[in-house]
Amino acid sequence: MYDVVLLTLGSERDAPGGCGSGGACCGGATGADTAPTSQTDTGQTDTGQTSAGQTDTEQCATERPRVPVLACADALNARGARVETVTARSDAEIDAVLARLDGPPRPDGLTWPDPDSKTRLVIATASDGQLRAVLRRLVKRYAPAPSKRPTDLPGNRTLPDLPPVAVLPLDPARAGTHRDLAAQLGLPRDPAAVAAAVLDGTPRRLDLLRNDGGSVTLDGALLGAADGAGRPLHWRARVEVDDTILTDGAEPLLACAVGNAGGYTTLDDVTLLTAPDPADGQVEVAVAVPVVVRSAWGRKRVRLEVRRARGRAVSVLPREGKVPYLDDGVEGELTRKRSWWIEPGAWAVWSI
């Protein structure tokens, strides 16, 4: 039978986004740009540091396990699993849980996940940002430095297959209109069903977006902002998808969507992304450009032109000032070039 760890991130219960949101705690990068991180040439993983000089080991508020966590633990215990509930309040405490997924020592000294591990991980999440916070620590733990790239790593990847995780959503409302990633993927939300997926399910492998800011994206990112009245503000940036230039930065933009899944397919009543698929090995990108056109009567009007492209990588280079964004629901500001790239099938969820 399996050892199952039920991991909850400590956070202020009603804080928007919880841990993993901008300025929050427990593994969530702030919205500021951060340096890429991976296993160093000494085989260790660095802790990362935000632009404000704060390490990712900030402490969070104490919480007791929520009712869904206790219900899931009861369902697992009833099936004979050995269950431990952990509330992690720092990156170090998250890493201590993830270390249980390590494989045996390798001749090259790299830390690698155990494909035959008898330990299974359930992440109880109040937001996609919290799920991303744990995946971000998994990437930091297992991604080798470029100088230590092993020969058994797939050519289209920079990290091995990450251990499968189960997702226990803590907010049932997120299955409705504003759907979280678990709802988009059709994952179970009932604690007993999550327990069944952990013990009886199979790994469903999904694409992961890494970026040169040292973080990851599971769902997608939306760049742009609005004024106090809700009107979108214009900004400029060069946006490239592989060899396709969606905009060179000379024209104003209203929004840019980077989609791995379907969380940012629309903006108000405008369709940005058409068919983002978290398992097709590609990222879908769209920019919304206001274009002035003349009617047959010579009157000017503004039409919103949406340009789209799909590929393996995308870069956004702001031309002026700061560009606000949401990345897996986490707020931030882009001040320099940011690149995302797809890691096909890098992470996985337990599903039935």
Q: Specify the pLDDT at position 238.
A: 98
> pLDDT-derived band of residue 121, with 50, 70 and 90 as boundaries?
very high
Q: What are phi and psi of 233, to 5 degrees?
A: -95, 145
Q: Which of 243-247, 277-281, 300-304 has the lowest mean pLDDT?
A: 300-304
Token pair, residue 348, equals 């996985």
Token pair, residue 77, equals 């215990």
Q: Specify the pLDDT at position 62.
A: 40
Q: Specify the pLDDT at position 122.
A: 98
**How confident is the model over 154-164, as pLDDT tens digits?**
999 999 999 99
Does the pLDDT value for residue 143 go beyond 90? yes
**How confident is the model over 325-344, as pLDDT tens digits?**
999 999 999 999 999 999 99
**How confident is the model over 214-247, as pLDDT tens digits?**
999 999 999 998 888 878 899 999 999 999 999 9
Burial classification of residue 273, based on how many CB atoms lie within 10 Å of its CB (0-12 exposed, 13-18 middle, 19 or more buried): buried
pTM for the predicted model, two decimal places: 0.84
Strand (E) or helix (H) holding 341: strand 338-351
- The whole-number average pLDDT for the span 118-145 is 97
Whole-number Å distance between alpha carbons of 152 and 138: 19
